[in-house]
Chain A
Amino acid sequence: MPIDRRTFVKTSSAAALALAAPAIIGRAAADEHIKLVSILDQSGGLDIYGKPMVDATTMAVDEINEAGGLAGRQVELINYDPQSTIQFYTQYATQAAAGDKADVVHAGITSASREAIRPTLGRFNTLYFYNTQYEGGVCDRNTFCTGSTPAQTVEKLVPYAMNKWGKKVYIVAADYNYGQITAQWVKKYVTDNGGEVADTEFFPLDVTNFGPTIKKIQAAKPDMVWSALVGGAHISFYKQYGAAGMSKSIPIASTTFGVGNEHKLISTEEGDGILAAYSYFQEVDTPDNQAFVKRFQDKFGADAPYLNELATRSYEGIMLWAEAVKKAGTAERMAVIEALESGLSLAGAPSGPIAIEPKTHHGILNVYLAELRDQSFNIVETHAAQPPADTLLVCDLQANPDQAVFYFENGLEAAGIK
């Protein structure tokens, strides 16, 4: 069937309208609801992170509404899929703030996406939550970053791994700001603990052949490899490392392995023994978490993804915001910010108690170290209530509330890293 331009335009615009219809209708009917907009990638390269986050977001909003809503109102969830494209993030953030008049926006996976929308949401005075682990350094009164930062996870995992395996570390990292910055923090903590970094290598996100690097690692003979690799293509590293017979001789530690559910995508021979650190693992052994995991699996059935820090923190980020709305008695932005800054904490959260640190708007979180066995993580150490020590070095929103900056370079400098 030959398709000319006219029929193409007709059918595609009809399809677009049909897709948009539920959103348009839904919006008209629900004006008195509290509006929560979620912008997370459900397609494109980042969907391995985004989809479980969207599931957890849906569950959080459903649970709030089943419990009677907030301040007497139901919460309406509007989901946008930016398709792993930064341009759509800006577009949907504007739509959320100016069009939907959202009361709160929970959005962003990569730091690049966060930095694309944070200024927009700030300008429109729309409260913003970023629920992803990241490199730290955001200092913005309008923004709450609930994910873990390097000082929380890397600081704990480096000494544990060095005690276990030795002092010479080879770093492999993804070549963008998160990987670059995490590698610097790893280097700092390795040096602080009396170790040395043999070499650091950065990989573009689409590299799938890690052969030359594996040879370099064999030549350098480190005691361990530290991975800050990110994304689907980089899973190749763990497979090729295992295939070259390396996973038995030089072990791997990482604060990025597992958050894309990498441990489910490689075999037990390739994965056993890898150490990871996050502020949440599905295996956290508390009644609150077991109940949470069960509710999640009941809701999404056999297809329920593994719950990693990103997914669970998306749930907890919404619950933290909900606590603040309850405390303030309104969803009005300043009242909610003040409630969150009052040291509000979320009891009974799956990852353990979470509180907002008022100077930085970051989380005070439990940090877990775990070792991979048979595709699941065994928790070996728990560090309770870790403050965001890296961001605290540069950010004090109580002394100076009128800030909306991303302090990255200063964060490294203040920590003594050149």
Chain B
Amino acid sequence: MDLVVALTLQVVYGIAHLVLISLGLAIVFGMMRVINLAHGEFLMLGGYTVVVSTNHGVNLWVAMLILAPLVVGIIGIIVERALIQFLYGRMVDTLLATWGLSLLFIGLVTTIFGAQTGTTISPPLGAVRIGDYSMSTYELLLIAIAAVLSLAVYLVLRLTRLGLMARATMQSADMASTLGVSTKRIYMITFGLGAAVSGLAGGLLAPLTGVLPTIGATYIAKAFITVISGGAAILAGTVSASVLLGGINGVASYLTGPTIGEVALLVAAIVLLRLMPRGITGRYFRKSL
């Protein structure tokens, strides 16, 4: 019984982990059709923001929940103004440009901070016991944060004026701009928001994984697989794909081992995309966000 509870929580955490690393990408790729190969580096920069600011005495929670999204959001806006805005609608060019950007970020961070950055941040809050098993309280908190973050994205898109304009711009930019929406600004804000969500995720994961300039590479493939399996509806898609792939990965990892766990995740994504080429939300939850 304890094992069932502990394992269920672990699988739910695996799902939350996928939601966190994919949500920023879902906003940028799902809404704007910008293939952001520097997504992993946005997560990495979030992690570095936390490490650098805590090394300078900033409180860990402030660093994770406020500074990381703020700093990476600003970097996102600069990137959009300086690079992405010239490349809308040119998918291959964006792909190359953001790949270059990812190399640039890795190079810059390595130059400034070195190949490894001394840090002693570890997950706060200790562990909870479940019978014979124990689990990091911080991982449970991340599950809650992933849920709150998804809800917040939903509410912003559904209920605010900004969300309405953003959805209008993504559906038909020309029509939106004839109606007086500054599509340029919307693109900029959306990209910045996507970057901020990635920064927050990267900051939150830093205590659990540590940071290295090259850590982004471990996230990027899974984030893309999740978003693409999710399909057009960014939120419902990301969450449903995370539940499916994260669940399969968690159970398979427990039953066999991590190698088969990773293979199971990839096989599930391939089968899913063969059956539903437009992702989960290309067939189900079509009206959702």
Contacts and interface: CB of A to CB of B under 8 A. Distances in A.
Interface of A: 2, 43-45, 47-48, 50-51, 175, 201-204, 206-213, 215-216, 218-219, 221, 232-233, 235-236, 239-240, 242-246, 260-261, 264-270, 303, 305, 375
Contact of A243 (B136, B212, B254): B136
Given A244-B134, A245-B134, A48 B209 contact: no
What 6 pairs across the A-B complex have the smallest Cβ distances? A245-B127, A243-B136, A243-B123, A212-B253, A47-B115, A267-B122
B259 interface: yes
B6 interface: yes
Nearest to B125: A243
Interface residues on B, range: 35 or more
B263 to A, nearest CB: 9
Contact of A244 (B110, B115, B136, B214): B136
5 contacts: A48-B212, A212-B254, A240-B123, A240-B136, A243-B127
A243 B122 CA distance: 7
B118 interface: yes
B138 A243 contact: yes
B215 interface: yes
A245 B126 contact: yes
A219 B134 CA distance: 10
Nearest to A236: B209
A265 B210 contact: yes
A204 B217 CA distance: 13
A212 B14 CA distance: 9
A206 B209 contact: no
A52 to B, nearest CB: 9
Contacts of A303: 114
Interface in B91-143: 107, 110, 114-123, 126-127, 129, 132-136, 138-139
B13 interface: yes
Nearest to A203: B258
B228 to A, nearest CB: 19
B217 to A, nearest CB: 7
A267 B120 contact: yes
A239 B110 contact: no
Given A208-B215, A215-B6, A235-B209, 10 more contacts: A43-B107, A45-B217, A51-B115, A207-B262, A208-B218, A212-B261, A216-B254, A243-B208, A265-B210, A375-B120
B10 interface: yes
Interface SS of chain B? helix
Most chain A CB inside 10 Å of its own CB: which residue of B214, B219, B262: B214
B209 A211 contact: no
A200 to B, nearest CB: 9
Contacts, number: 139
Contact of B259 (A48, A203, A219, A261): A203
A5 to B, nearest CB: 11
Contacts of B7: 212, 215
B167 interface: no
B209 A208 contact: yes
A375 to B, nearest CB: 8
B243 to A, nearest CB: 16
B146 to A, nearest CB: 14
Contact of B210 (A43, A202, A206, A236): A236
B110 A47 contact: yes
A269 B10 CA distance: 22
A339 to B, nearest CB: 35
A264 B110 CA distance: 17
Contact of B6 (A43, A218, A239): A218
A266 B136 CA distance: 16
Interface string B212-226: 101101110000000
A51 B212 CA distance: 14
B120 to A, nearest CB: 4
B3 interface: yes
A408 to B, nearest CB: 20
B246 to A, nearest CB: 9
Interface in B1-55: 3, 6-7, 10-11, 13-14, 17
B86 interface: yes
A244 B135 contact: yes
Contact of B10 (A45, A211, A265): A211
A120 B207 CA distance: 43
A232 B214 contact: yes
Given A243-B139, A265-B118, A268-B120, A213 B253 contact: yes
B250 interface: yes
A207 B136 CA distance: 18
A370 to B, nearest CB: 20
Contacts of A233: 209, 215, 218
B257 interface: yes
Contacts of A202: 257-259
A232 B215 contact: yes
A175 B257 CA distance: 11
B139 A211 contact: yes
Contact of A201 (B86, B127, B209, B258): B258
A43 to B, nearest CB: 7
Given A218-B134, A245-B134, A264-B118, A213 B258 contact: yes
Nearest to A206: B218
Most chain A CB inside 10 Å of its own CB: which residue of B116, B119, B253, B258: B116
B127 A244 contact: yes
A375 B120 CA distance: 10
A43 B212 CA distance: 12
B95 to A, nearest CB: 15
A109 B207 CA distance: 28
A48 B217 contact: no
Contact of A215 (B122, B133, B138, B219): B133
A216 B3 CA distance: 9
